[in-house]
Each structure stands twice: as structure tokens, then as C-alpha cells.
Amino acid sequence: MEILSNHWVLIALRLAHIGGGILWAGSAILFLFLLIPTVRAVQDAGQKFMENFGPRFGKMMSIVTTVTIVAGALLYARFFASGFEWIWTTKSGLAFTIGALAGIISYVLGSAYLGKLQARVGALGAAMAATNPPKPEQIGQMNQLQSTLMNVYRFDFVLLVIAIVTMAIARYL
Ligand code: HEM
């Protein structure tokens, strides 16, 4: 694809990709290490906050992650001009590929699984508030869902760290 070698197209793609990557990783860190503990600490107020914040955050993240992945895939595609061997014959190729895979898995996990899990937590939270006081089985279910959600967030965070580290050092290997 000739257009991918155009200087200005490359600059635009790099701005979109690296800008998106910064927003993606920064938001994930803020969410996991600051927002979730705060929401848990303030309990009912936290539940209310998440009902409002969750859908806004979800929409923003779906745009940011899609832009990052699409721009990254186009930047990656231009390396194929001289064949596929660079992936396993150069350390840079291997590092960019590992980073790309980690980013894509994180994207699929976020769009296909995390949203549904968060929606289930939200629906159960609303049902518990309506039942007030919540039934013991609802509390058990909520604890289980939240622990699964936290494990997925942690796994996703590891994928993001892999993507950031490999992408940042790839061209210097
Ligand atoms: C969380 C996801 C990602 C983050 C945080 C991220 C971050 C970065 C950063 C910071 C760079 C700049 C490195 C440099 O120029 O030395 C970069 C470059 C690059 N990324 Fe990613 N990236 C992610 C996902 C992806 C994905 C999914 C792909 C491919 C499908 C990809 C392909 C590339 C390529 C090919 C470059 C080199 C661009 C160039 O040579 O101009 N990235 N990425």
C-alpha cells in the first residue's frame, strides 16, 4: 500500500496510535489503581457514581482503543512490504508483534467480555438496591462477579504493560 509510506500519513497514524495508546494505558491505570478502590471505599455513593461514569467511560474507551488498534495495524501493515520474515528474523519485528498481539487481546477482552461483565454487576447492584436489604445469595453473586471483574482488569493490565514495554523498546533492539 503506497499511501502508507507517505510522510504525512505516517505522522497522522503515529499521532493517532501513540496518542491513543497514552490515553488507553493512562485511563486503565487510573481506573484500576485509583477509581475502583475509591468506588469501593465510598460504597453506595460509589455505586451511584459508577452508574453514571461507567457508560461514559465505556464509550470513550471504545473510541480510544479502536483508533489505537486501527492506526497500529496500518503502521504494522507497512512493514510487510518486504515480506513476513522480519517478524521472526529481527528482534524489532518480534517485539512489535508480541506488543501488537497483547494490544489486540486486550482490545478483544475489553469489547467482547468486560462490558458485559460490568453490565451484569450494574444490573445486580440495581436489583440489590431495589430489594434492600439485599438477599444473601445476591451478596454472594456480587462478590463472585466483582472478584472475576478484578481478575480480568488485572490480566488486562498485564497485557497493556506488555504492549507498552515492547512497543517502546522494539526499534532499539
Ligand atoms: C495498548 C496497545 C498499544 C500501545 C500502548 C502502543 C504503543 C505504541 C508506542 C508508544 C509506539 C511508539 C514506538 C516507537 O515509535 O518507537 C508504538 C509504535 C508502533 N505500534 Fe503500537 N501500541 C499498541 C498497540 C499496537 C497494535 C495492536 C499494533 C498492531 C496491530 C501496533 C503496532 C505498532 C507499530 C507497527 C509501531 C511502529 C510505528 C512506526 O514505526 O512508525 N501497536 N506503539
Q: How far is residue 17 from each of residues 5, 12, 94, measured CA to CA in Å?
A: 16, 9, 19
CB of 107 closer than 6 A to ligand 1? no
The answer, yes or no, to whether any atom of ligand 1 lies below 6 A from the CB of 74, is: no
Whether residue 104 has its Cβ less than 6 Å from ligand 1: yes
> What pLDDT is recorded for position 47?
80
Res 118: pLDDT = 82
pLDDT, tens digit, 9 for 90 and up, residues 125-163:
888 878 878 888 888 888 888 889 899 999 999 999 999
For a mutational test of ligand 1's pocket, the pick from 75, 167, 172, i.e. the residue with the most ligand atoms closer than 8 A to its C-beta, is 167
Domains of the chain: total: 1
Say if CB 92 and CB 171 are below 8 A apart.
yes
Q: Closest residue (by CA) to atom 2 of ligand 1?
A: 103
Range of the domain at 10: 2-172
Burial 43-73 (b: 16+ CB within 10 A, else e): eeebbeebeeebeebeeebeebbebbbebbe
Name the residue of 17, 62, 172 whose CB sits within 8 Å of the most ligand 1 atoms, as the mutation to test its pocket.
Answer: 17
Its pTM stands at 0.90
Tell me the per-residue pLDDT of 66-107, one tens digit each, with 9 for 90 and over: 999 999 999 999 888 778 888 888 999 999 999 999 999 999
Rounded CA separation 171/173 (Å): 6
Q: Is the CB of 68 under 6 A from ligand 1?
A: yes
pLDDT average, residue stretch 103-117? 91
Nearest-angstrom CA–CA distance, 14 and 30: 24
40 lines ligand 1 (CB under 6 A): no
Distance 82 CA to ligand 1 centre (A): 19
Which residues, 6+ apart, have CB-to-CB distance to 112 below 8 Å?
Answer: none
